[in-house]
Amino acid sequence: MANNQSALTEEESVLLLDVFEESLRVFKREQFFSWLQGSMQSLIPHEVLICGFALKNQSQLHFDSFVSTRYVNHQHVRFATSYESGIVNRVINAWKKDLCPILVSHTLEEVDYGPYRVPFVESEKVLNQLEIRNIAAHGVSNKEGDVITFFSFSRIAGEPNPRHAYILQLLVPQMHHAFLRVMNNIYRYKNIPTKLDQIPPTILKIEKQLISPREIEVLRWVNSGKTNPEIADILYVSVNTIKNHVHNAIAKLGVENRSQAANKAQEMELLK
């Protein structure tokens, strides 16, 4: 049940009914995009929607995006949804824990409010480089807890807040059905791909922009088995400086410790 902060106004209730009614006429991708740009913008103003969806007999999610700003391109979306450390994948993994709306912004503290969660804090610099910021996300799962569809709104006007989480709880079930109709139309006469496309080299360039040259250098030494004090001696800096570089790399790569950061960087071919 909504509290006073999240309860819809009379005008918003009317808009929500319009959104629900309009969704019944969505069968094609262009119709879905037009639907997003209509009354829904008054309920949750955004510039980017990334949709994750499961295909039969495939463990990895596929993604589609609906973008209304020139600042976000296909490469940004591919990076945000690539690897386990991609921010959208991290949001999805957080959502799986209790299936409640997720909010992410550099201005929000990591908390669990019950009806929604802020599972992690991403730095403003990283979010700006990604051009994917101010995220509010929610999805639909099956009884086993596997994701069927997932919707990540970003570049939301203003800081993500409880009202966004509440509105997502109302919108996402309807979005789920509309999006599945679109996907059924797209894949009905096509062969279902057996795996996601390989990540193009341009994505690795974006990755290297996020991980600074100094952080890569530190991770190379971590990967070779050096301790933080040993790396500090090699690079003629303080141990605290090395700790900061390691901490930043861990956060950017979405892992839990220095060893995982070095392994992930090695897998992404960042340590060449």
pLDDT the model gives residue 195: 33
pLDDT digits (tens, 9 = 90+) for 41-65: 989 999 999 999 987 766 778 899 9
Question: Do 136 and 259 belong to one domain?
Answer: no
Question: Do 181 and 250 belong to one domain?
Answer: no
Question: Do 93 and 222 belong to one domain?
Answer: no
pLDDT the model gives residue 204: 43
Question: Do 182 and 225 belong to one domain?
Answer: no
Angstrom distance (rounded) from CA 12 to CA 96: 29
pLDDT digits (tens, 9 = 90+) for 73-126: 888 888 888 866 789 999 999 999 989 999 999 999 888 887 899 999 888 888
pLDDT digits (tens, 9 = 90+) for 10-44: 888 888 999 999 999 999 899 999 999 988 998 99
- 144 alpha carbon, distance to own chain's centre: 22
Question: Do 158 and 239 belong to one domain?
Answer: no
The two tokens of residue 14 are: 């009317």
Question: Helix, strand, or coil here: 115?
Answer: coil
**Does residue 272 lie in a domain region?**
no
Indicate whether this model's pTM tops 0.85: no
Question: Do 43 and 135 belong to one domain?
Answer: yes
Question: Do 119 and 169 belong to one domain?
Answer: yes
Angstrom distance (rounded) from CA 132 to CA 83: 16
Evaluate if residue 139 carries a pLDDT over 90. yes
**Does residue 206 lie in a domain region?**
no
Q: Give residue 241's domain range.
A: 211-267
Question: Do 65 and 104 belong to one domain?
Answer: yes
pLDDT digits (tens, 9 = 90+) for 186-229: 766 444 443 333 334 444 444 444 677 888 899 999 999 999 99
198 or 161: which carries more pLDDT confidence?
Answer: 161
Evaluate if residue 269 carries a pLDDT over 70. yes
**Does residue 196 lie in a domain region?**
no
Q: Looking at the 3D structure of the chain, how many domains does it have?
A: 2
Neighbouring-strand partners of residue 135? 104
Question: Do 160 and 241 belong to one domain?
Answer: no
For the range 119-126, what are the long-range contacts, defined as Cβ-Cβ under 8 Å and sequence gap of 24 or more?
A: 119/90, 119/91, 119/94, 120/90, 120/94, 122/87, 122/251, 123/248, 123/251, 123/252, 126/210, 126/251, 126/252
Question: Helix, strand, or coil here: 169?
Answer: helix
**Does residue 141 lie in a domain region?**
yes
Which CATH number does the domain housing residue 237 bear? 1.10.10.10
The two tokens of residue 34 are: 């037009």
| CA dist list (Å): 122 to 86, 128, 159, 217, 257 | 12, 10, 14, 22, 16
Evaluate if residue 171 carries a pLDDT over 90. yes
